[in-house]
Homo-oligomer: A and B are copies of this chain.
Amino acid sequence: MMTGKQRLEKEVTLELRNKYIGPSCKLFYRDDPLKILRASGTYMYDEKGHRYLDCINNVCHVGHCNPYVVSAAMQQMAVLNTNSRFLHDNLVLYAERLLTFFPKELCVCFFVNSGSEANDLALRMARTHTGKKDVITLDHAYHGHVSSLIDISPYKFNHPGGEGQADWVHVAPVADVYRGKYTDKDYSLEELSEKYADEVKQLCDKATKKSGGVCLFVAESMQSCGGQIVYPPGYLRQVYKHVRAAGGLCLADEVQVGFGRVGSHMWAFQTQGDDIVPDIVTLGKPMGNGHPISAVITTREVADSFGATGMEYFNTFGGNPVSAAIADAVLDVIENEKLRENATMIGSYLKQEFNSMKQKHGIIGDVRGQGMFLGVDLVKNRKTREPATAEAAYINKRLKEQYVLLSCDGPSRNVLKFKPPLVFSLNDAKELLEKLDNIMTEMEVAECEVNDAAKSTLNGTVNSHHKSQISNGHCSDIQVKV
């Protein structure tokens, strides 16, 4: 029945989708959405058999349909799948193994189904442990789709349909050194770290004055929806110090960036130093390679405070033997196939090549990130750093036409966002680079053509951006249609 064969014509699928699925649920590439029938490794295949290179599925972490993970799932599903009110070895052995990847203070697990459930539970725990309510979050942050998390997600509450900021929520500027409140144009990284941490301190002071303290500081360890943001070194160290001084807990949201995506470390918060120990860490998306499993990891103290209330926490599916078997298999693959090492190697190569492309293409303003978490920030003008939003959308569309799936994000949607399965290979990297390079070249040629035409017929002024492209040798008399 489910052999990856098409059962409906694509138009019919789309029609039924529009008819039966809530209109709030958006499709990728809305003008011409993709119908994917099967996937393997880093490739997805549409109904016509076209192979797409997947640079965006940060859930299918160890590769689409990884056979080892599928096999583990099958074996356990056939034998037992029940709730965690019964004892089971899979649950406790997975918990024990998972905790070996954390600083020793983080020693208790709660298993849930989604990053949203994890962040909501973390918030409940922080409320219980601190007795406070005020939360400090970063601008552009997204922490999940349930009510309590929309409240602390400026990416949602400050956008269409959002209800604005609650009085117990405090939004700190994200420590974006390229286009944030303070940038590397004016400050050293060390200064930036301090200035951004000071912003959090000011909010701590405000919250303390207003309501006697802070409940929680919440941040992704690298910010994804904000445009693949990497905080300056030392930032979390200073922030955590300020937040703790105000009585608050520190939550590292690793739902998108955890499980070795950053290569050098298992968790992105670790890139800020071995001494950085959050009070709560939330895990999600890649944990089950597509199977719904997520977790909250916390300290004994926080877990015990939450337990001491006497209120049971029961999650029907969380930590069942199938979920645990799958999550365990994912760890096996990360280790056995050395996927962190692969993330580091391929990520470094890509970053180096993106930086080489930056020499060639004026549209590339900044290249950032590490491992399989990279961002290419596109600008109209390197000096002003004006976001090249339309250009990013165009590049994304052209890449899709050439069977490469990438996405744009950030407040101005001008950041090309790279977050593929960790099995992304050198050949995959070369394919992405070559196609991206060609598209940028095409764009420059087309623009120059327009400019040349404008110059000859209208005697128009060539702006500095175009000049820089010309100076890079991409204009003159080349005549290519795009």
Contact = CB atoms under 8 A, between A and B. Distances in A.
A458 interface: no
A147 B145 contact: no
B24 A311 contact: yes
Contacts of A323: 292
Contacts of A315: 25, 114, 116, 145
Contact of A27 (B21, B39, B87, B120): B87
Interface stretch (A92-100, A268-276, A389-397): A92-100
A117 B117 contact: yes
A320 to B, nearest CB: 7
Nearest to A303: B22
Interface string A261-299: 000000000000000000000001100011111001010
Interface string A317-337: 101111101000000000000
B64 A81 contact: yes
Interface stretch (A154-162, A411-419, A439-447): A154-162
Interface stretch (A3-11, A177-185, A187-195, A367-375): A3-11
Interface stretch (A103-111, A424-432, A465-473): A103-111
Contacts of A111: 21
A57 B76 CA distance: 18
Contacts of A480: none
B23 A304 contact: yes
B28 A86 contact: yes
B8 A113 contact: no
Given A307-B22, A312-B26, A65 B80 contact: yes
A330 to B, nearest CB: 13
Interface string A114-135: 1111001101100010000000
A345 interface: no
A8 B89 CA distance: 7
A13 interface: yes
A311 B116 CA distance: 16
How many copies of this chain?
2
Nearest to A97: B20
Contacts of A304: 23
Nearest to A23: B307
Contact of A147 (B57, B107, B124): B124
A85 B407 CA distance: 12
Contacts of A2: 72, 75-76, 79, 90, 321, 325
B161 A309 contact: yes
B59 A7 contact: no
B75 A3 contact: yes
A72 B1 contact: yes
A462 interface: no
Given A25-B314, A93-B7, A313-B25, A36 B113 contact: no
A16 B90 CA distance: 11
B79 A24 contact: no
Given A146-B148, A303-B22, A82 B110 contact: no
10 contacts: A8-B93, A14-B87, A17-B91, A22-B108, A22-B313, A70-B78, A116-B146, A160-B311, A290-B320, A292-B316
